[in-house]
Structure 1
Amino acid sequence: MEAPRAGPGALAPWKEMSAEELEKQYSPSRWVIRVEPEEALRTFWEKGTQATNNAQATRRCQLHVPYGDGHGDRMDIYFPGVESEALPFFLFFHGGYWQSGSKDQSAFMVDPLTAQGVAVAVVDYDVAPKGSLDRMVDQATRSVAFVQKRYPHNEGIYLCGHSAGAHLASMVLLASWTEHGVAPNLRGFFLVSGIYDLEPIVPTSNNALLLLTLEDAVRNSPWRRLDAAPAQPSGPACPVLVMVGEHESPEFHRQSWEFCQSLCRGGWKVTFKKLPDVDHFSIIENLAKKDYVVTQIIMKTISQKC
């Protein structure tokens, strides 16, 4: 572990915050120091769109692949140059506070990963207000089941999510696969700048489109669900990397660390990393670089076939 252990039984800091401070804590762009908040948001989506257009123009791909019957049940799959039925698959869930963003703006990591023999699936889901959070969680789970069924000889499925996408990826940790008729070959999770306890979101403006009740928030909070779930079985566990950028709010740091601690208590093989000199947006933008520390960690994890 790379952070000090929090004291047990401490009152969640957000419960003592004013409405204004809580709003700031859960507004990631307000913690960016390199540019103004509006520019950080605008350039993030611009860079994502550019990376996606480049990936579609230069990589072998299948676009708008349906993983279910719903209109939003779509993913783009990008393949390495060498064809094989036994590839590692990297699934990415985009951020956007469950109410913006899409696969068409999120293919940052395609070039460096496909160049190393990894297939990349960038997953869409129905953002609010069209989709409820329960539906988004179901879509994330079904997308993983789909990849396993479509590519049964895969060399491992690795999940990555950013911000709201990290929440969706973390909910997959708790999925019951019996109802999906498949046991996916999950080999690793990369959770980037996520929110794992949704209760603090309920009183903020971020809930205006989500319309989460307290019950909804608790039901869809992996941190709460994990503490109530049975421990991970003994033996080799699927590795989980929980990451947060240096220039993110104290609440994002707290959420990442406390979720990491819950994973530890559940027996998961988990690592916590605070990445220096990055914020909520640059932490994922940099996945376009093959020499970026997170890109290197992802490739090392996949090559080890844990």
Structure 2
Amino acid sequence: MSAQELENQYAPSKWVVRLGAEEALKTYSQIGNEATKRARATRKTLLQVPYGDGDGEKVDIYFPDKVSEALPFLMFVHGGYWQSGSKDSSAFMVNPLTAQGVAVVIVAYDIAPKGTLDQMVNQVTRSIAFVQKQYPCNAGIYLCGHSAGAQLAAMMLLADWTKHGVTPNLKGFFLVSGVYDLEPIVYTSQNALVHLTLEDAQRNSPQRHLQVAPTQPVDPACHMLVIVGQHDSPEFHRQSREFYQTLCQAGWKASFEELPDVDHFEIIENLTREDDTLTQIILKTIFQEF
């Protein structure tokens, strides 16, 4: 692939058909901001809860009206190529999920250039350990990661939980429009702020780890959903399909979904709606457990 083609393949906004690239990014952030304001105004919340000592190590927790010890928790890890995005504009799915009895946790982590990718993986690991320790009677922790957030969520399959003194009750992963082999990113402008070396990229590529040394699921019932939008780029499609195949080969309970008529941003924007396909997939996955 030429340098220019590689650049295009890993620029999700260039594949949006309904809007121009800049407008797509602006709309995404606007919908995220509005959804977060609405969620904070209408839901029971614990905001800016520290899961570590760093300034950026915080989570926002949104609860359903009926709070109990045994709630399912969906933890959302935002995207933005490890260099943009914030928990303060990422509460897209809060209202539809809390309305159905799911607590939602939006995770903050130190984006580049402040944070390195290794730090981000460590922060997401610690945020999950924190939720498990705070809510030990939870009815399952479900991780949802979007784009770069899907890579961070997928890295949790390789986490050494003994270091954190707890084994989280992970019941499902929703990996949405993600990148699982980071080597191509090293050669794009997306790496200007992240400063990934080839070694960093390989160390943080769940695709490579699972191919070389498949880790067995801690809980065989844990469901892995790899999801991509119809209007994601061919490289995003390839990465998602190959990661799904690798999960299957490693013995995970995995499924693959290509959602029609949505692009890289719409796939998450639509989570503000209860009748959205992905919202329904998430709810069905969570509640078929009980």
TM exceeding 0.5: yes
Matched, 1:190 2:197: no
Q: Give per-residue Cα distances to partners, 1:145-182, cap 9 Å, x unaligned.
A: 00000000000000000001001000011111010000
In structure 1, what is the equivalent of residue 97 of structure 2? 113
CA contact (8 A) 1:80 1:118 kept: yes
Looking at structure 2, the residues matched to 77 and 223 of structure 1 have their Cα atoms a distance apart, in angstroms, of 30
Q: Normalising by the residue count of structure 1, what TM-score does the alignment of the two structures yield?
A: 0.93
1:1-306 matches, within 5 Å, as 17-232=1-216, 236-305=220-289
Q: Give per-residue Cα distances to partners, 1:14-38, cap 9 Å, x unaligned.
A: xxx1111100000000000001000
Percent of paired sites with the same residue: 69
The structural deviation recorded for 1:86 is 1.0
Q: Give per-residue Cα distances to partners, 1:194-225, cap 9 Å, x unaligned.
A: 00000000010000000000000000000001
Looking at structure 2, the residues matched to 159 and 44 of structure 1 have their Cα atoms a distance apart, in angstroms, of 21
Question: Partner of 1:210: helix, strand, or coil?
Answer: coil
The structural deviation recorded for 1:233 is 5.3
CA RMSD of aligned residues (A): 1.1
The structural deviation recorded for 1:103 is 0.4
The structural deviation recorded for 1:117 is 0.5
CA contact (8 A) 2:74 2:104 kept: yes
The structural deviation recorded for 1:305 is 1.7
Looking at structure 2, the residues matched to 94 and 163 of structure 1 have their Cα atoms a distance apart, in angstroms, of 8
Q: Give per-residue Cα distances to partners, 1:257-302, cap 9 Å, x unaligned.
A: 0000110111000001111000000001011110111111111111
Looking at structure 1, the residues matched to 215 and 191 of structure 2 have their Cα atoms a distance apart, in angstroms, of 32
The structural deviation recorded for 1:85 is 1.1
CA contact (8 A) 1:231 1:265 kept: no
Looking at structure 1, the residues matched to 57 and 215 of structure 2 have their Cα atoms a distance apart, in angstroms, of 31
Question: Partner of 1:68: helix, strand, or coil?
Answer: coil
Looking at structure 1, the residues matched to 227 and 80 of structure 2 have their Cα atoms a distance apart, in angstroms, of 17
Looking at structure 2, the residues matched to 249 and 111 of structure 1 have their Cα atoms a distance apart, in angstroms, of 29
Question: Partner of 2:193: helix, strand, or coil?
Answer: helix
Q: Give per-residue Cα distances to partners, 1:231-255, cap 9 Å, x unaligned.
A: 4259833100000000011100000
Looking at structure 2, the residues matched to 193 and 186 of structure 1 have their Cα atoms a distance apart, in angstroms, of 20
Amino acid at match of 1:30: K
Amino acid at match of 2:48: H
In structure 2, what is the equivalent of residue 8 of structure 1? none
Question: Partner of 1:274: helix, strand, or coil?
Answer: strand
Are residues 112 and 101 of structure 1, via their aligned partners in 2, closer, same or farther at CA, if it must alter by over 3 Å? Answer: same
The structural deviation recorded for 1:304 is 1.5
Are residues 233 and 165 of structure 1, via their aligned partners in 2, closer, same or farther at CA, if it must alter by over 3 Å? Answer: closer
Q: Normalising by the residue count of structure 2, what TM-score does the alignment of the two structures yield?
A: 0.98
Looking at structure 2, the residues matched to 83 and 158 of structure 1 have their Cα atoms a distance apart, in angstroms, of 18
Question: Partner of 1:77: helix, strand, or coil?
Answer: strand
Amino acid at match of 1:140: V
Gaps of 5+ in 1: 1-16
Are residues 175 and 109 of structure 1, via their aligned partners in 2, closer, same or farther at CA, if it must alter by over 3 Å? Answer: same
Are residues 172 and 298 of structure 1, via their aligned partners in 2, closer, same or farther at CA, if it must alter by over 3 Å? Answer: same
CA contact (8 A) 1:234 1:267 kept: no
Looking at structure 1, the residues matched to 156 and 147 of structure 2 have their Cα atoms a distance apart, in angstroms, of 15
